[in-house]
Amino acid sequence: MASPAIDQPPEGAELDKLIHSYSIPPQPHILNDIQNANDDLGRIAGIIVKDVALSSGLLQTINSPYYCLANHITSIQQAAVLLGLKAVKNIINCQLLQAESGNYQNKNLSDFWQSATDVANTAATLVNILGFGSTDEAYALGLFHNCGIPILMSKHADYQNTMQSAYNSDNTRITQIENEHYCTNHAVLGYLVSRTWKLPEHLRIAIRDHHNFDRLSFKRNDYDTEADTLLAILKMAEHISHVHSILGKDQQDNEWNIIKNGLFNFMGISEPDFIDISDGVIEKLNLY
């Protein structure tokens, strides 16, 4: 089943058909309640506390070594004051996404979530090192950017083979190969999830375009500074985290070889700079 490139989600009846066909998960009610609380810290803390699993998971995440907090956080309100509501919302989004993936049948997603976690931690660390972008948003993008993969896995028994074939391709976009098999791809499906869940627009753009060679050339005249900076951070994080090996079972990162020079120019770094940065991230996060 061949299809032309599909980098943009369809509209109208075709969009409704795609959402129905792939069971795009609706926004969890608790996210809607949090958004309707209008950044009222007390109300938001009260909403989260009512969900025992969510609140305990949030505190566990905040008290993890990644955040390097001096004191142990024991309440949701304390966490929101210390980290800010934006960080708390991003953590909640990510936890709910992981919970949602449990609804997909007969699929072993351990490699997927390990990869997503590694990319998220690497992306956030890169922001701290480089001083570009938002740590919270880089972390959220790392976890969310491939959220269309479990959706495709759930519907297509051959998707694992298709994904590995896509990563093994030297010059063809990963999403183009998915388009040829399924008339859609994980980036478009991820964009639809992020839009349904009302993530910020620049995060949605980054999810939609994270395999789009035109955008990843970083030579467009219509830069979206927030989205393009997040994309550059994400692609570095994917390469450092060996996504091509974990998900694609390929020792060569073919996409990276195509985009890296434009990315380095956009970020104002050289390849030796990047190698030094990578070594520092790998040592700090104890990757591999």
pLDDT tens digits, residue range 46-64? 999 999 989 998 898 888 7
Residue 95 has pLDDT above 80, yes or no: yes
User: Using DSSP, how many helices (H) and how many strands (E) does the chain show?
Assistant: 18, 0
Q: Which region among 109-118, 191-200, 239-248, 253-262 has the lowest average model confidence (pLDDT)?
A: 109-118
For residue 102, what pLDDT is reported?
Answer: 66
CB distance 138 to 119 below 8 Å: no
* DSSP notation for 243-279: HHHHTT--SS-HHHHHHHHHHHHHHT--HHHHHHHHH
Most distant pair of Cα atoms in the chain: their distance? 56
Distance CA 188, CA 43 (A): 34
CB distance 184 to 150 below 8 Å: no
CA 70 to chain centre: 28
Q: What CATH number has the domain spanning 12-25+103-285?
A: 1.10.3210.10
Evaluate if pTM is beyond 0.85.
Answer: yes
CB distance 275 to 228 below 8 Å: no
For residue 51, what pLDDT is reported?
Answer: 92
Distance CA 145, CA 209 (A): 10
Residue 263: which of 228, 223, 227, 225 has the closest Cα? 228
Domain range list for the chain: 12-25+103-285, 26-85
Residue 285 has pLDDT above 70, yes or no: yes
Distance CA 109, CA 124 (A): 22
For residue 108, what pLDDT is reported?
Answer: 65
The percent of residues above 70 in pLDDT, for the chain, comes to 94
CA 68 to chain centre: 23
- Per the prediction, the chain carries an average pLDDT of 88
Residue 80 has pLDDT above 90, yes or no: no
pLDDT tens digits, residue range 119-161? 999 999 999 999 988 888 999 999 999 999 999 998 999 999 9
pLDDT tens digits, residue range 215-265? 999 987 766 789 999 999 999 999 999 999 989 898 999 999 999 999 999
